[in-house]
Amino acid sequence: MSAQPTAAHSKDQHNYQGHLNLDVLLSAMRPVTTHPEEHIFLTTHHSLEVWMKQIIFDLHRVIQHLDNDEVSQANWLLKRLGEIMRLAEAHWVVLETMSAADFAEYRSLLTGASGMQSRQFREIEVMLGLCAVADDEYSARVEKMWPGLIAEHPNTLRQAFFAYIERRGLSLLDVYKDRWDQHDLFLLAEHAFELDRRFHSWRHNHILMVRRQIGIRALGTGGTFFDDYLAKTLRYYFFPELFEFRNDLTAHMGGEVKPA
Ligand code: HEM
């Protein structure tokens, strides 16, 4: 049971405008060009950054719940995170209503800003535990761009997830075979898998959107070519074990599986 909430706000927060701090939120839009299609470009970025803030907020809670053996609460929030990633992906559908021709008309005026400089995006990857599974080059790059960010998150979702499963004394294969008796663990693994899968799907569809908007051989505003940067990010999974052990499941049921 969570503690009784208390309210800490001033009187001007007792109306819609004040509670949502809309003066601040809606004044954040600062186009750097006069092109009308820059508006949807900024709206999409802003909206995704707001959702990233929510993901970071809830990730802290999921990790804490797992550390406290509160698996039901962790499951509830982990499912939400997967749903947010599904929503995040839908942003590309809207952004693609900006034509490549329109984008080309103002892109050169964007002066070096790129999504790869999003601190929140990197923080989410770090909190999910990417440093433990990606190559050393990844951590070195994060440390160089955001010194101290990795150290801020000594306990990641990956760590909390596997530590919890270990405390329950079961293997992933056991969890899936006994899924109705171990239903809470089964849900935990499925929600973590879905979060990872949807994050991956977001990456894929961001790349398809990039191909559509600027072409696969164009230099990004962050200074990278596709083969040298974005293509490599497709190797990243937070829970590769949750993908890999599905081979064991297939083999366990008599299916043919190539050796790793
Ligand atoms: C027309 C729209 C967009 C294009 C053409 C585009 C293009 C690119 C390119 C080329 C990169 C590689 C780095 C570089 O050299 O810049 C990149 C990275 C990235 N972009 Fe976008 N982008 C677009 C929209 C967005 C939006 C709306 C977001 C929302 C936050 C976003 C988030 C990111 C992130 C997080 C990365 C780094 C990915 C990683 O490190 O794995 N992008 N983008």
Q: Is position 212 within any domain?
A: yes
Atom of ligand 1 nearest to the CA of 118: 35
- To test the pocket of ligand 1, the residue of 116, 205, 219 to mutate (highest count of ligand atoms within 8 Å of its CB) is 116
How many Å lie between the centroid of ligand 1 and the Cα of residue 114? 6
- Burial of residue 15 (number of CB atoms within 10 Å: 0-12, 13-18, 19+): exposed
- 174: domain range? 34-113+156-252
Going by CA atoms, what residue is nearest to atom 40 of ligand 1?
A: 116
Domain total in the chain: 1
Q: Is position 130 within any domain?
A: no
Q: Is position 140 within any domain?
A: no
Question: How do residues 123-146 score in pLDDT, each as one tens digit?
Answer: 999 999 999 999 999 999 999 999
126 lines ligand 1 (CB under 6 A): no
Q: How many CB atoms lie within 10 A of CB 82?
A: 19
Q: Is position 137 within any domain?
A: no
pLDDT at 122 > cutoff 60: yes
Distance CA 152, CA 27 (A): 30
pLDDT of residue 3: 74
User: In this predicted structure, which of 86-90, 109-113, 191-195 has the lowest mean pLDDT?
Assistant: 109-113
Q: What percent of the chain has pLDDT over 70?
A: 99
Q: Is position 4 within any domain?
A: no
Q: What is the CATH number of the domain that holds 39?
A: 1.20.58.480
pLDDT of residue 254: 94
The two structure tokens encoding residue 55: 């993901």
Average pLDDT over residues 244-248: 94
Q: Is position 207 within any domain?
A: yes
- Burial of residue 21 (number of CB atoms within 10 Å: 0-12, 13-18, 19+): exposed
- To test the pocket of ligand 1, the residue of 230, 234, 235, 238 to mutate (highest count of ligand atoms within 8 Å of its CB) is 230
Q: How many CB atoms lie within 10 A of CB 124?
A: 21
The two structure tokens encoding residue 190: 């499925």
Distance CA 237, CA 189 (A): 14
Q: Is position 73 within any domain?
A: yes
**What's the mean pLDDT when you consider all of the chain?**
95
pLDDT of residue 154: 96
Average pLDDT over residues 231-250: 96
116 lines ligand 1 (CB under 6 A): yes
Q: Is position 216 within any domain?
A: yes
The two structure tokens encoding residue 235: 């190797």
Look-up: residue for tokens 């960010």? Answer: 149
Question: How do residues 50-85 score in pLDDT, each as one tens digit?
Answer: 999 999 999 999 999 999 999 999 999 999 999 999
